[in-house]
Amino acid sequence: MIKSTIDEIRARFDADVERFSNLETGQTATIDAALCLEIIAKAATAVTPHAAHVLDIGCGAGNFTLRLHQELPFSAVTLLDLSQPMLTRAAERATAAGITPTTLQADVRDADFPPQTFDIIVAGAVLHHLRTDAEWEQTFAKLHAWLRPGGSLWIFDMVAHEHPAVEAFQHQRWTAYLTAFGGPDYAAKVTAYVEKEDTPRPLTYQLELLRRAGFCSIDVLHKNAAFAAFGACRSN
């Protein structure tokens, strides 16, 4: 299947701001979204307790920034997203919470920041849009470079599985969740756009890639069906 272009993905998110603006539910199409918001916020706070500047990649409406700020009173956030409406909402919510936001409308593959700019990077349900091995490797290398020594990276995302049989039954579990949440039409809609848009990689692939990029202290925080939360550090 020919996957969606960046412009097509941007257009879908431009029209879907409200669904991504609920801090209590997170992203409703993902399993355990609210739980993973909490786990990542607490893990990032424990690992990088003196963080002042956060980068939120694929920030959407800002849920990860806001939930992290409930645990850790950092002062500045750089919000990165394809969608300008998402960035506008995220910046408004960050400002209301007392955080100074900077916004950048861009694809993470095209974004660039000076080395050692950020204390914490969070990436919520965004990296599954990467396509090739080269894109995955280059992106993880950039994330490592952008972190200050002792900084940390936290990811919540859709993941694939190495064995086709495991992939099949985990996808069935996710479809059952979607059906229970919103009915069969909702489940069909979500699975259709995921098939068209997304190219997730196995959790094992991403953990190995983190190590190759230079990260240390790599930990899996949570995994359920097709979704996982995990993180890593840049050494001091």
Residue 193, pLDDT score = 85
Q: What is the residue whose two structure tokens read 């979704």?
A: 227
Structure tokens at 215: 């990260």
The 10s digit of each residue's pLDDT in 65-108 is 999 999 999 999 999 999 999 999 999 999 999 999 999 999 99
Secondary structure element (H or E) that encloses residue 222, with its range:
strand 216-224
Q: If you count them, how many residues does the chain have?
A: 236
- The residue-averaged pLDDT of 41-68 equals 97
Residue 21, pLDDT score = 62
233 burial class (0-12, 13-18, 19+ CB within 10 angstroms)? buried
Rounded to whole angstroms, the Cα distance separating 167 from 183 reads 22
DSSP assignment of 79-132: EEES-HHHHHHHHHHHHHTT-EEEEEES-TTT----TT-EEEEEEES-GGG--S
Whether residue 130 has pLDDT greater than 90: yes
CA distances from 110 to 70, 113, 127, 211 (A): 30, 10, 13, 23
Rounded to whole angstroms, the Cα distance separating 164 from 167 reads 5
Q: What are phi and psi of 179, to 5 degrees?
A: -65, -40
All domains of the chain in start order, with CATH: 6-233 (3.40.50.150)
Task: Beginning with the edge strand found earlier in the chain, give each strand of the sheet holding 100-105 in spatial order.
Answer: 100-105, 76-81, 53-57, 118-124, 147-158, 227-233, 216-224
Residue 25, pLDDT score = 57
Cα pseudo-dihedral 112, 133, 4, 173, rounded to 10: -120
Is the CB of residue 132 less than 8 Å from the CB of residue 161? no
For the chain, give the percent of residues with pLDDT over 70.
Answer: 94
Give the amino acid at 213. Answer: A
Is the CB of residue 152 less than 8 Å from the CB of residue 233? yes
Rounded to whole angstroms, the Cα distance separating 123 from 154 reads 6
Give the amino acid at 34. Answer: A
The 10s digit of each residue's pLDDT in 147-183 is 999 999 999 999 999 999 999 999 999 999 999 999 9
Q: What are phi and psi of 162, to 5 degrees?
A: -70, -35
